[in-house]
Every structure is written in structure tokens, then in C-alpha cells.
């Protein structure tokens, strides 16, 4: 199948000032649209057209991997937020966080540190393995934990295009602010 840009479940100005309308219009409306267009051009008329996007990410390399993973990663990222977000995870996810990190505050600190210390462009991820163990990882460029057999739960985009319009060079400020718009019901549903 060919892909199109899904409509976001919130208004483009509703996450401001944490993510501005301008950033959503460029980052989702233009950057993500380009990854999806490139993905479609690369799979058209090939066996990849019959695969799920997740299978393409697991099997492809080079330009196809980069565009497929970026297409998936941005949808996963932008569909983690809500203007009514913030607060804390609950239930089994909170229990796992407490078991593996000690507390939610420790998870936040380690996650932001992993994002701020990632050199260059990439993504910071919280994933779970088959035993439900939680793992924070850094990935360069288009990387995605699906390729390591993990289940992604949460990601922050640390490419400069994700934060430069709103925070300029202050990546840590951008990453610390995002917690106030995370929709934990969605993150919990992925665990």
C-alpha cells in the first residue's frame, strides 16, 4: 500500500508554547510529508508495497530504511501528545517504571540525559522487551528499536528540526518541556 500523512488528533496550535504551531506545520506538515512521499516513491511497484511499514523497517536498508523509519517515527512521536497531556503514567507501566528505574522522576532524568547526550541527529526511546523490561536507548538518524525486536513505547525526536524554531540550541529545555504534553493513556496502551 501507499501511505498518506495522517491527520493529527489535535489542532496545530494546541500544543503551544511547548511545540508551536509553526514547528508542527514544518516538522509534521513538511518534514514528515517528505519522508512519506519518499517512502511511497521507493516502494511503488516493488515487493515492499505489500509489506507492513513495520516489516519494511525490519528488512530494508539504506534510503528505504531511512525514509520508512522516519515516516513511522514521526507518526509515533506526534501521536504521543495531547493538549490535555502531562501528569504521570499509571497501572502496569508505572509499576514497571518503578521496578526498573526506581521512580518516574529517575526515568525522566535518564531519558532527557540520553536525549541531550546523543551526538548529532536521532531519537531517544523508551522500549520494552518480551519480558516487559523497560529500556532507554539512543539511536542515530532514523534508528528504530523495532529492528532490535523491542516494542517502542515513547520517543523524543532530537533532530534540530524538532526544536530549533522554538528553543534554538536549547535541546535540554525542549526535552524537559515535552513531558507536559505526553498523553499517558496512549503510552500505556503500547505497553
Which stretches of the chain bind Mn ion, using CB under 5 A? Answer: 157, 159, 162
Residue closer to Mn ion, measured from CB, 39 or 134 = 39
Start-end of H helices in the chain: 21-26, 33-43, 53-59, 62-78, 91-101, 104-117, 160-167, 171-177, 184-190
Helix axes 104-117, 91-101, angle to 10 degrees: 70
Residue closer to Mn ion, measured from CB, 39 or 162 = 162
What residue number has its CB nearest to Mn ion? 157
What is the nearest approach in angstroms of Mn ion to the Cβ of residue 112? 17
Residue closer to Mn ion, measured from CB, 93 or 162 = 162
What is the nearest approach in angstroms of Mn ion to the Cβ of residue 44? 24
Residue closer to Mn ion, measured from CB, 156 or 159 = 159
Q: How far apart are CA 43 and CA 130, in angstroms?
A: 30
What is the nearest approach in angstroms of Mn ion to the Cβ of residue 28? 9
What is the nearest approach in angstroms of Mn ion to the Cβ of residue 35? 9
Please name the residues in contact with 172: beta carbons below 8 A apart, sequence gap of 6 or more.
112, 116
**Residue 122: strand pairing partners:** 140
Amino acid at each position: 500500500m501507499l501511505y498518506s500523512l495522517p491527520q493529527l488528533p489535535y489542532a496545530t496550535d494546541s500544543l503551544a508554547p511547548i511545540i508551536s504551531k509553526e514547528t508542527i506545520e514544518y516538522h509534521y506538515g513538511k518534514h514528515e510529508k517528505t519522508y512519506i512521499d519518499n517512502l511511497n516513491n521507493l516502494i511503488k511497484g516493488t515487493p515492499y508495497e505489500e509489506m507492513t511499514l513495520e516489516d519494511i523497517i525490519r528488512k530494508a536498508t539504506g534510503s528505504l530504511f531511512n525514509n520508512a523509519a522516519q515516516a513511522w517515527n514521526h507518526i509515533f512521536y506526534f501521536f504521543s501528545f495531547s493538549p490535555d497531556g502531562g501528569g504521570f503514567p499509571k497501572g502496569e507501566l508505572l509499576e514497571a517504571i518503578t521496578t526498573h528505574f526506581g521512580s518516574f522522576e529517575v526515568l525522566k532524568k535518564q531519558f532527557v540525559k540520553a536525549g541531550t547526550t546523543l551526538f548529532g541527529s536521532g531519537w531517544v526511546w523508551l522500549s520494552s522487551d518480551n519480558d516487559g523490561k523497560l529500556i532507554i536507548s539512543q539511536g542515530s538518524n532514523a534508528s528504530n528499536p523495532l529492528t532490535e525486536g523491542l516494542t517502542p513505547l515513547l520517543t523524543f525526536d532530537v533532530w534540530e528540526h524538532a526544536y530549533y524554531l522554538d528553543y534554538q540550541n536549547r535541546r535540554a529545555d525542549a526535552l524537559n518541556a515535552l513531558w507536559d504534553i505526553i498523553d499517558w493513556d496512549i503510552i500505556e496502551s503500547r505497553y
